[in-house]
């Protein structure tokens, strides 16, 4: 079984930040593995100081749901379950759009979350990072 490496995570983050710049947003990006451990994170200059924690939580939401994008997961599960899962993970789960799964050689290996723009743009930035790993 392969996992996500620091090199992989840095590749994802670089592509995501390039997309954020292209769209004109200052953002933070975080990559987690399937065990929800942080692999790497970056915050662009000017991004709110709390944003790295938020984007990590988005990525954790996608990892704990085995690849369901964070915004989709928020609409798929009842609020009580979302609250319980958040509590199980010490409050580190953010059920907000902006994270997508990461695949390596066709295998789910983690998730990437992005934030600092509107939710749909956050997800677009996260997807650009994910595409860099798959490509």
Cβ count near 70 (within 10 Å): 31
- Listed by start position, the domains of the chain span 6-134
Can you name the CATH fold of 6-134?
Beta-Lactamase (3.30.450)
Helix ranges restricted to H, the chain: 6-23, 51-64, 70-76, 79-88, 119-134
Kindly state the tokens that stand for 100: 């997508």
Q: pLDDT in tens for each of the 135 residues of the chain? A: 469 999 999 999 999 999 999 999 999 999 999 999 999 999 999 999 999 999 999 999 999 999 999 889 888 889 999 999 999 999 999 999 999 999 999 999 999 999 999 999 999 999 999 999 986
CA distance 16 to 41: 11
């Amino acid at each position: 079984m392969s996992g996500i490496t620091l090199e992989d995570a840095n590749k994802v983050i670089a592509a995501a930040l390039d997309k954020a710049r292209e769209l004109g947003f200052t953002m933070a990006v975080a990559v987690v593995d399937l065990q929800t451990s942080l692999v790497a994170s970056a915050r662009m200059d000017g991004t709110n100081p709390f944003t790295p924690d938020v984007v990590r939580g988005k990525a954790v939401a996608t990892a704990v749901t085995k690849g369901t994008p964070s915004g989709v997961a928020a609409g798929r599960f009842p609020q009580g379950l979302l609250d319980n899962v958040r509590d199980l993970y010490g409050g580190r789960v953010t059920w907000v759009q902006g994270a997508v799964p990461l695949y390596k050689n066709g295998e789910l290996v983690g998730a990437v979350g992005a934030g600092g723009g509107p939710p749909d743009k956050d997800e677009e930035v996260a997807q650009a990072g994910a595409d860099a790993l798959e490509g």
